[in-house]
Amino acid sequence: MDSYSLICFTKLYQLGSIHKAADELYISPQSMSKRLQRLEEELGQTLFDRSPSGLTPTPHAHQLAYSANIILNEYERVRAVFSGQTSDSTCTLHIASTYGVPKRLSLAFIQDFYRENPSIHLDLVEYPEYPIFDMLDEGKIDFAFLPEPIDIVKYEIEYCFSHRYCLVVNKAHPLADRDCVEYRDLNGIPLAIKGRDYSFYPVNMTKFSRGGLTPQILLEISDDSLIVEAARQNWCAGITADFFAEQYADDNVAVIPFCDDSFTRNVFLVRRKNQEMSAAEKRFWTFTTGWIQKNMEDSGR
136, 269 in Cβ contact below 8 A?
no
- The pLDDT value given to residue 81: 56
Q: What is the pTM of this model?
A: 0.66
d(C-alpha 226, C-alpha 242), whole Å = 14
Q: Name the DSSP class of 26.
A: T
- The pLDDT value given to residue 82: 59
132, 144 in Cβ contact below 8 A?
yes
- The pLDDT value given to residue 85: 47
Buried b (16+ CB within 10 A) or exposed e, 53-81: bbbbbeeebbebbbebbeebeeebeeeee
Q: Name the DSSP class of 142.
A: S
Binned average pLDDT, 10 residues per bin, the chain of 301 residues: 86 91 85 91 93 90 86 73 53 90 90 92 87 90 93 95 94 96 96 79 81 92 90 96 91 96 92 90 95 77 41
225, 146 in Cβ contact below 8 A?
no
Q: How far is CA 266 from CA 43, 45, 300, in A?
A: 37, 35, 11
With H, G, I as helix, E, B as strand and everything else as coil, classify residue 143: strand
- The pLDDT value given to residue 77: 66
Quote the strand ranges of 232-284, DSSP E.
237-241, 253-257, 264-272
- The pLDDT value given to residue 170: 97
Q: How far is CA 241 from CA 18, 116, 142, 175, in A?
A: 25, 31, 26, 18
Domains and their CATH numbers in the chain = 1-84 (1.10.10.10), 162-265 (3.40.190.10)
- The pLDDT value given to residue 195: 74
